[in-house]
């Protein structure tokens, strides 16, 4: 099974057949987070309490079966100092059964150092996909107030690449417009072995608190269809770039 084979479906289904999580809440506390929005919507966790991390029963599993397809870990939280030990233990169970694992994270240097060391025996079964939506510190801090800086993430990408792991970058969501996204591509492309995925910030009016209406309006302007088409013209021939479903929808409307 190839990590970036063509898949039907949207969202995580574009990347993997299986998703796994062992934690509720996320220290990144991203303003646009779909998991935080859904937890609040279904009365599982208040939105303003989402940054509180809590291990679930899934973190206690003693074995993991071989799965048919790519396993994405995690999909609704991040790998942080709080859950690092449990994440490594569960990832080791997955990998020992021969699973191909897509590790998706806004990487922290201390966590990546441990992952690279402890998971080295299975590096051929792993693809790291690091999310970097902008290279601007202030932009990242606004939208992702608890996450590492973009240059810390870039350093983690370089470390994983130099350690011989397969690497990928997700610019989803784009945290600004076309020029910002091109800037990210310029910074990361030399350390990517597989793909750079690009996607819009989705459902901002639903997921982002109404206190940030001006910022949401600006994002919608920066990521309007004509701007996405301009981005597509710049990058469509780039051998590493792949378009997420939100971009494909814009392209379909332009036909």
What does the pLDDT read at residue 182? 98
Low-confidence ranges of the chain (pLDDT < 50): none
Asked whether residue 129 is assigned to any structural domain, the reply reads yes
What does the pLDDT read at residue 1? 63
Asked whether residue 6 is assigned to any structural domain, the reply reads no
Residue 94 is part of a domain; what is its CATH number? 3.20.20.70
Length of the chain measured in residues: 255
Asked whether residue 69 is assigned to any structural domain, the reply reads yes
User: In this structure, how many other beta carbons lie within 10 angstroms of the beta carbon of residue 255?
Assistant: 4
What does the pLDDT read at residue 231? 98
Convert 20-55 to b/e letters by CB count within 10 Å (16 or more is b).
bbbbbbbbbbbbbbebbbebbeeeebebeebeebeb
What does the pLDDT read at residue 173? 98
What does the pLDDT read at residue 11? 83
Asked whether residue 1 is assigned to any structural domain, the reply reads no
Give the largest CA-CA distance in the chain: 51
Asked whether residue 5 is assigned to any structural domain, the reply reads no
Asked whether residue 219 is assigned to any structural domain, the reply reads yes
What does the pLDDT read at residue 5? 78
What does the pLDDT read at residue 2? 81
What does the pLDDT read at residue 150? 98
Count up the domains in the chain and report the number: 1
What does the pLDDT read at residue 6? 77
Range of the domain at 147: 11-254
What does the pLDDT read at residue 9? 77
**DSSP for the chain, written as a single string:** --TT---SSSGGGGT-SEE---EES-TT--TT-HHHHHHHHTTSS-GGGTTS-EE-GGGG-S-----SSEEEE-SSS---TTTHHHHHHHHHHHHHTT-EEEEEE---HHHHHHHHHHTGGGGGGEEEEEE---S-HHHHHHHSTTSPPHHHHHHHHHHHHHTT-EEEEEE-S-SS-HHHHHHHHHHHGGG-SS-EEE-PPP-HHHHS-GGGHHHHHHHHHHTSHHHHHHHHHHHTT-TTEEE-HHHHHHHHHH-
CA dist., res. 193 & res. 128, Å (int): 10
Q: Quick one: how far is CA 94 from the chain centroid?
A: 20
CA dist., res. 175 & res. 29, Å (int): 15
């Amino acid at each position: 099974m190839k990590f970036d084979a063509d898949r039907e479906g949207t969202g995580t289904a574009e990347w993997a057949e299986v998703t796994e999580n062992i934690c509720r809440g996320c220290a990144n506390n991203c303003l646009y987070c779909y998991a935080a929005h859904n937890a609040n919507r279904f009365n599982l966790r208040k939105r303003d309490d989402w940054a509180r991390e809590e291990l679930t029963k899934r973190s206690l599993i003693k074995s993991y079966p071989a799965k048919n397809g790519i396993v994405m870990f995690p999909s609704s939280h991040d790998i942080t100092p709080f859950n690092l030990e449990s994440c490594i233990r569960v990832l080791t169970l997955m990998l020992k059964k021969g699973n191909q694992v897509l590790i998706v994270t806004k990487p922290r240097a201390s966590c990546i150092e441990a992952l690279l060391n402890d998971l080295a025996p299975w590096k051929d079964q792993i693809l790291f996909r690091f999310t970097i939506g902008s290279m601007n510190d202030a932009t990242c801090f606004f939208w992702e107030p608890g996450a590492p800086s973009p240059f810390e993430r870039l350093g983690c990408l370089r470390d994983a690449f130099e350690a011989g792991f397969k690497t990928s970058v997700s610019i989803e969501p784009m945290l600004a417009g076309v020029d910002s996204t091109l800037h990210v591509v310029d910074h990361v492309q030399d350390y990517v072995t597989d793909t750079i995925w690009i996607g819009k910030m989705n459902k901002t009016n639903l997921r982002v608190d109404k206190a940030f209406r001006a910022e949401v309006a600006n994002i919608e302007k920066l990521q309007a269809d004509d701007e996405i088409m301009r981005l597509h013209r710049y990058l469509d021939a780039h051998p590493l770039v792949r378009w997420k479903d939100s971009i494909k929808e814009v392209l379909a409307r332009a036909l």
